[in-house]
Chain A
Amino acid sequence: GAGVSQSPSNKVTEKGKDVELRCDPISGHTALYWYRQSLGQGLEFLIYFQGNSAPDKSGLPSDRFSAERTGGSVSTLTIQRTQQEDSAVYLCASSLIGRGNGEAFFGQGTRLTVV
C-alpha cells in the first residue's frame, strides 16, 4: 500500500469491553511500532516488532494490553476490559530498518474513547 493504514479511525467503547486495533504496515517493512498518545502529550512506546524476533513488550502498561503481528505484516493491538484511562490515540508506525535506525512511517492513528 501507499502508506501505513490503521483501522478503525475512531472507536467508542463501553468500559469493560475488549477492543482490537489494526495496523497494516508498508509492504516490506520489517519493523513495526505501537505508541499511545494522550491529549496534548507525547508518544508513549507500547510494543515493537522486528522481523521474526520476539517482540519488545517493555512498554505495555498492563497485562490487559497485548499485540501480535501475523506473518510479519498486519498487527493487531488488543485491549481487554477497557478502562477510561485507556482513552487516547493509538499510533502505529513501520520502518524498513528497525532498532530506531531508520525513518518511521506513521499511520493516522485510532482515536479510542472509553465511556
Chain B
Amino acid sequence: SQQGEEDPQALSIQEGENATMNCSYKTSINNLQWYRQNSGRGLVHLILIRSNEREKHSGRLRVTLDTSKKSSSLLITASRAADTASYFCATDDQAGTALIFGKGTTLSVSS
C-alpha cells in the first residue's frame, strides 16, 4: 500500500541554492519521517515530525507538516554537492503497523 508520494521526482540545482521536496499522504498519521539514500543502498534517517508538530529544524534541514492538507515539505538550505541523493518520506500505514515509504525525490546538486 502506497502511503506517501514525493514531488518532484527529480530536482537539479546548483550548489548554494535551496532545495524543496514535497510529500503527500493519504490517511491520518501519527508521525512522518524523512530519509536519505545514497547510491541505492541503505537509508539514513534525517528527521521525524509528529502529527501535532508543524515545523522542525535540524541543521540545514527544515521540515513542515500540514495535517489538514496531508502534506509535508523538506527544505535543504545552502545545498552542497554532498547532498546529492534520493530523499524519501515515510509514514505509519493505515493499520498503524509498518513504516511505508514513498517513491522518493532524486536530488542532484552540481558545483
Contacts and interface: CB of A to CB of B under 8 A. Distances in A.
B42 A99 contact: no
A50 interface: yes
Interface string B48-79: 10000000000000000000000000000000
A65 to B, nearest CB: 15
A104 B1 contact: no
A35 B101 contact: yes
A108 B44 CA distance: 10
* Size class of the contact patch on chain A: 20 to 34
Interface in A77-109: 89, 91, 93, 95, 98-109
B90 to A, nearest CB: 7
A45 B101 contact: yes
A100 B92 contact: yes
Contacts of B33: 100, 103-104
Interface of B: 1, 30-31, 33, 35, 40-45, 48, 88, 90-93, 95-104
30 contacts: A35-B101, A41-B103, A42-B101, A42-B104, A43-B43, A43-B88, A45-B98, A45-B99, A45-B100, A45-B101, A48-B97, A48-B98, A56-B97, A56-B98, A58-B95, A91-B42, A91-B43, A93-B43, A95-B99, A99-B30, A99-B96, A100-B30, A100-B90, A100-B93, A100-B96, A100-B99, A104-B35, A104-B90, A106-B44, A109-B42
Contacts of A105: 45
Given A48-B98, A100-B93, A104-B35, 20 more contacts: A4-B42, A37-B40, A42-B102, A43-B43, A45-B99, A45-B100, A45-B101, A56-B97, A56-B98, A93-B99, A95-B99, A100-B92, A100-B100, A101-B92, A103-B33, A103-B48, A106-B42, A108-B41, A109-B41, A109-B42
List the 9 closest pairs (A to B, CB-CB), nearest first: A100-B92, A42-B103, A43-B101, A106-B42, A48-B98, A100-B99, A103-B45, A106-B43, A108-B42
